[in-house]
Structure 1
Amino acid sequence: MNRPANKIVIVGAGECGARAAFALREKGYEGDITLIGAEPHLPYERPPLSKEGLAGQLDPKYVADAERYEAAGIQVLTDAAVQAIDRGAKTVRISDGRDLSYNRLLLATGASPRPFPGHSPTSSLVRVLRTHAEAAAIRLKLAPGKLLAIIGGGFIGLELASTARKFGAEVVLLEGLPRVLSRGVPEEIAAVVAERHRLEGVDIRCNARIADIEERGEKVEIDLDDGGILIADLVVVGIGAIPNTALAEAAGLAIDNGIAVDETLCTSDPDIFAAGDCCSFPLGHYDGRRIRLEAWRNAQDQGTLAAANLLGAAETIASVPWFWSDQYDLTLQIAGLADGAVLTVQRDLGDGAFILFHLDASGRLISASGIGTGNAIARDIRLAEMLIAAGKRPDPQALGSTDIKLKALLAA
């Protein structure tokens, strides 16, 4: 490694930023570490916000407690928004007017929910879900006799629908496309998820077009293009996220569907790195295609990788994209990216659980998608992830046969 910097500042106190801070210590770095977050909380995990985090807890699920940060010598600044980066002076300006100097800087600024056009994300009745405060406000409306309207049939919307039904709220989910989970989830798996929601009483309406949303007292009126009207107690918008790039863009860093980084997570400034939801990066497993991931595992992996490279390791991104979602008793997991697949092979695992393997034109396994109850698919998805990372071209018939273990294909 090169000689390490003696002042590292991390902007963004989420999963990625916190993971990077602790990884720096684990790798032997002894200099100053300052972790800056705009929220009043210590870094916490966001996946629970659409699930158990809606149970009304006073505190979020923290990545670590205050004592652990103190023991590691990590200074955490909360309620401190970073307003500007001065690359020449190597300082960041925070909201209390102070300038903090750095030798190396990590941007882990995450992403923000995309608001419904024409509506403020701060409305009390038309909300988004990204922070603990937003989850707490949504929870107040989840009760029998209340109707929750969810706009968007992606992971967030469906997980929220599942949680809302547990609290007894009625749920209508409006999706503009022909099916739910249209981004990155095979149709066969999306159909299983949709049917499970319908069995639980969720009213899923696909191909829904919204003409207008208007707040009327304590209710929200949603006017649909087909003339239908929906009156809800709360509307939650889950139509995607926008990477938080304003700070980087104002500093003159390259932007390309997020803060553009190379395979080591370095930005266009050699002393500034970016990681997590906010950055786009070339992925070697997919011929250097530039992608951006909004995923818990990616935030962890890139936090660790960024820590190594802030210290001069020059390690490249090697992890395979991985996503998961829990809804009712179902677990959905996806390893890899299925774009470019020309052949899909199904492996049935029993009790309704199955995995779809996606291969490209050369026969290389590029993705695996599975669904089942509990941990039914976890082991095989993990082995599929290893097959993808190894660039394997397994026999399609072997992939579809439960008589042949995936571990054997990995060893072949």
Structure 2
Amino acid sequence: MTRHVVIVGAGHGGVSLASALRSQHFDGSITLLSDEGDLPYHRPPLSKAFICSDTPEVEEKLLLQSRDFYDQQRIDLRLGVRVSALVPDARQLILDDGSRLAYDDLVLATGARARPLPLPGCDLQGVVRLRTLAQARDLRQRLAQSNAVVVVGGGFIGLELAATARQLGKQVTVLETAGRIMERSVSPQVSAYVTAKHREKGIDIELSSTVQAFLGEHGRVSAVRGASGEWPADLVIVGAGALPNSELAEAAGIACANGILVDNHLRTSAPRVYAIGDCVACENRYADNARLRLESIQNANDQARIVAQQILGQDARYEALPWFWSDQGEIKLQMVGLSLGCTDYVTRGDPGRGRFSVFHYRDEILIAVDSVNQPLDHVLSRKLLAAGISPDKTQVADTGFDLKSLLA
């Protein structure tokens, strides 16, 4: 009997899983469902190169695979299809047209959505969020017609969009609730450096700024009101984090808590149902086994490979070292590890020259590294953390010491 694998969600994780199954000689049926009308695409360029140009080449470069790929690999890609319900006991999905789709193995790769800010004026024209290609097309058009842009949120997506808007000559203000940008993601040293560089480019970064309302005229946004003032805006981009798309799983009785709960085999609480990517909360060995939801392409792709092995009967566990990146104008940030419980930082290199790394320690144990315009440091740091090697802090601070020698 031919097995049928159904994947709900055609982002990086869903496409990677379908590809991995075929590359490992899975000969059953694969159905890949997407609620979007576009072929599956790369998301990182949406906040950068994509909104700077509207040429057909830019959209073509976004594609994860050509249409022919899915046909050649016998992957039944169905676009514009929404799943209205999951019935685990019957191993069936109910689609939005009322039809039913049976599966032998189901993988939820439903991703996440941009977190809304339910404030007065949030429904005004010109208050937007970015997560999908359709939203990026809309933002690109609005950005071309705008002058004063306010970005709510000083995380990766907000700062990437701020840098892009500034490159396009817009007046840009970033409003961040916390006392520093990227507070949950990078060291204070990196936050300070990136803040200074963005301000040098003319981006106004307002810290400890809580947004209270969006003001408008004739149905369109005209300003943002905060606890400490008002900022004129004809375009507001809300980058206030993301929420997991776990509603389908929750309604089916699958255990969820800030994401779909999975074990280290990426199995949910329902038989023969797995989950991967941004929608998943999983214990992580690099965070003392705390249950985390990681939003990164690397995480989605790594989890996809594990589930492919599981479906093929192999005993695979998710134990990958997390790493991330963010390109903000001329600033290239690369991060590896998780800094939960950090007690000390050591800087390697000279921030004044714009090329340095910050090593995060929990007591004497290296747990994470942030690199600014230092790709070789990033690669080396990934090797050190994967090998469980913690360099002495004096060795890290001494740029004359070859950290690579510790790997010999």
TM-score range, shorter chain: over 0.9
2:357 maps to amino acid: I
Q: Counterpart in 2 of 1:95? A: 96
Question: Is it true that 1:204 corresponds to 2:205 in the alignment?
Answer: yes
Q: Counterpart in 2 of 1:140? A: 141
Q: Counterpart in 1 of 2:167? A: 166
2:35 maps to amino acid: A
Deviation of the 1:145 alpha carbon: 6.2
Deviation of the 1:393 alpha carbon: 2.7
Deviation of the 1:314 alpha carbon: 2.4
Alpha-carbon separation, structure 2, partners of 1:64 and 1:121: 36
Alpha-carbon separation, structure 2, partners of 1:122 and 1:145: 18
The CA RMSD measured in Å over matched residues stands at 1.9
Alpha-carbon separation, structure 2, partners of 1:145 and 1:21: 40
Question: Is it true that 1:341 corresponds to 2:327 in the alignment?
Answer: no
Superposition pairs of residues 102-181 of structure 1, within 5 angstroms: 102-118=103-119, 124-143=125-144, 146-181=147-182
Alpha-carbon separation, structure 2, partners of 1:321 and 1:87: 31
Deviation of the 1:366 alpha carbon: 0.9
Q: Counterpart in 2 of 1:359? A: 361
1:330 maps to amino acid: I
Superposition pairs of residues 6-405 of structure 1, within 5 angstroms: 6-54=3-51, 55-58=53-56, 59=59, 61-118=62-119, 124-143=125-144, 146-217=147-218, 218-226=220-228, 228-348=229-349, 351-361=353-363, 363-372=364-373, 377-405=374-402
Whether the aligned pair in 2 keeps the contact of 1:295 and 1:323 (CA below 8 Å) is yes
SS of 2:89's partner is coil
Whether the aligned pair in 1 keeps the contact of 2:175 and 2:209 (CA below 8 Å) is yes
**1:360-403 CA distance string (max 9 Å, x none):** 23x2211011112xxxx112212211211222232222222222
Alpha-carbon separation, structure 2, partners of 1:95 and 1:246: 15
TM-score between the two structures when normalised by the length of structure 1: 0.93
1:112 maps to amino acid: R
Alpha-carbon separation, structure 2, partners of 1:152 and 1:314: 41
**1:49-107 CA distance string (max 9 Å, x none):** 10012122453601101001110000101100111111111011112222111000000
**1:306-361 CA distance string (max 9 Å, x none):** 21122222211121111111111110111001111223221116833111111223
Whether the aligned pair in 2 keeps the contact of 1:342 and 1:360 (CA below 8 Å) is yes
Alpha-carbon separation, structure 2, partners of 1:301 and 1:120: 40
Whether the aligned pair in 1 keeps the contact of 2:124 and 2:221 (CA below 8 Å) is no
SS of 2:299's partner is helix
Whether the aligned pair in 1 keeps the contact of 2:327 and 2:333 (CA below 8 Å) is yes
Deviation of the 1:122 alpha carbon: 6.9
Deviation of the 1:151 alpha carbon: 0.5
Alpha-carbon separation, structure 1, partners of 2:213 and 2:286: 43
Structure 1 unmatched runs, 5+: none
Deviation of the 1:234 alpha carbon: 0.9
SS of 1:84's partner is strand
Greater alpha carbon shift after TM alignment, 120-129 vs 242-251: 120-129
SS of 1:136's partner is helix
Alpha-carbon separation, structure 1, partners of 2:285 and 2:71: 37
Greater alpha carbon shift after TM alignment, 113-122 vs 238-247: 113-122
TM-score between the two structures when normalised by the length of structure 2: 0.94
Distance 1:341 1:231, change over 3 A: closer
Structure 2 unmatched runs, 5+: none
Whether the aligned pair in 2 keeps the contact of 1:258 and 1:279 (CA below 8 Å) is yes
Alpha-carbon separation, structure 2, partners of 1:370 and 1:71: 40
Deviation of the 1:231 alpha carbon: 2.4
Runs of 4 or more consecutive aligned structure 1 residues displaced over 6 Å after TM superposition:
119-122
SS of 1:185's partner is coil
Alpha-carbon separation, structure 2, partners of 1:57 and 1:215: 32
Deviation of the 1:215 alpha carbon: 2.8
**1:85-139 CA distance string (max 9 Å, x none):** 1111101111222211100000000001110114697754111000111111111
1:42 maps to amino acid: L
Alpha-carbon separation, structure 2, partners of 1:307 and 1:53: 31
SS of 2:90's partner is coil
1:260 maps to amino acid: L
Deviation of the 1:166 alpha carbon: 1.6
Whether the aligned pair in 1 keeps the contact of 2:125 and 2:221 (CA below 8 Å) is no
Distance 1:49 1:313, change over 3 A: same
Task: Number of aligned residue pairs: give it.
Answer: 402
SS of 2:165's partner is helix
**1:151-200 CA distance string (max 9 Å, x none):** 00100110001111121111111111111111121111111111111111
Whether the aligned pair in 1 keeps the contact of 2:122 and 2:214 (CA below 8 Å) is no
Distance 1:5 1:20, change over 3 A: farther
